[in-house]
Amino acid sequence: MGKTAWVKPAVAAAALTAAFAAVGATTAPASATTVASEQSCLATKKFGRTSSGSRIEFTPCVKTDGKVIALDPGVACFAYGISRVHRLKDCRATGAWSLYKDGERVASSSSKDAKYPGPGTYTLTADLQGSGSWRLSDSRNRSGSVQVSAGGSMEGTITLTDSVRTPSNSDSRKRIRSSR
């Protein structure tokens, strides 16, 4: 019988934070060990669309656990190669975002600690860039690489209803453990 490998929760949380960072998502340290209890997304927007179907799509979602707030860029890359459009496995996003309530910026990607400002209707602005590449091959031994890069600005209204939760002592301990 094989051995089962166990991963400490703090190690798994650090890996998730690194994965979010790889796609350009901005999270505060406390969110690494908690699960988002609410999210609100803008409609999908396509950039760099060509006649062959190559494009990058963003569906940005603001997520919160009631304590911190983060943006998941929701990026998907598509490129034409070997007779059809493929969804690329290696797709990354970078960029900046800001969240406004009544014209005042309440959170952004440049904030060191993006605390959740509370329930309400917000305007989300995001300037996102995406890029993707993939090496393709088919059953007829044809191969090649496809790449796509595009981006732009998005703006829309989102509504969050989750109440503000105050961090507990256990959250502080989790934050300390996950930062190691």
Q: Are 164 and 66 within 8 A, CB to CB?
A: yes
More confident residue, 92 or 171: 92
129-169: per-residue pLDDT in tens? Answer: 999 998 877 777 778 888 899 999 999 999 999 999 886 66
What is the radius of gyration, based on Cα positions, of the chain? 19
pLDDT at 1 over 90: no
More confident residue, 144 or 95: 95
More confident residue, 140 or 64: 64
CA angle 69, 114, 117 (to 5 degrees): 65
| Cα gap 175→180, rounded to integer Å | 9
Return all residues near 17 (Cβ < 8 A) that are at least 6 apart. 27, 29, 31, 32, 178
| Cα gap 166→169, rounded to integer Å | 10
Cα dihedral 65, 70, 71, 76 in deg (nearest 10) = -70
More confident residue, 59 or 147: 59
Cα 138 from chain centre: 31
24-58: per-residue pLDDT in tens? Answer: 444 333 334 456 789 999 999 999 988 888 999 99
pLDDT of residue 122: 97
Which residues, in sequence order, are bridge partners of residue 132? Answer: 91, 148
Domain ranges of the chain: 9-175
Q: Are 68 and 106 within 8 A, CB to CB?
A: no
What integer is the mean pLDDT of 48-70? 92
| Cα gap 39→64, rounded to integer Å | 6
pLDDT at 102 over 50: yes
> pLDDT-derived band of residue 172, with 50, 70 and 90 as boundaries?
very low
pLDDT of residue 60: 96
What integer is the mean pLDDT of 90-98? 95
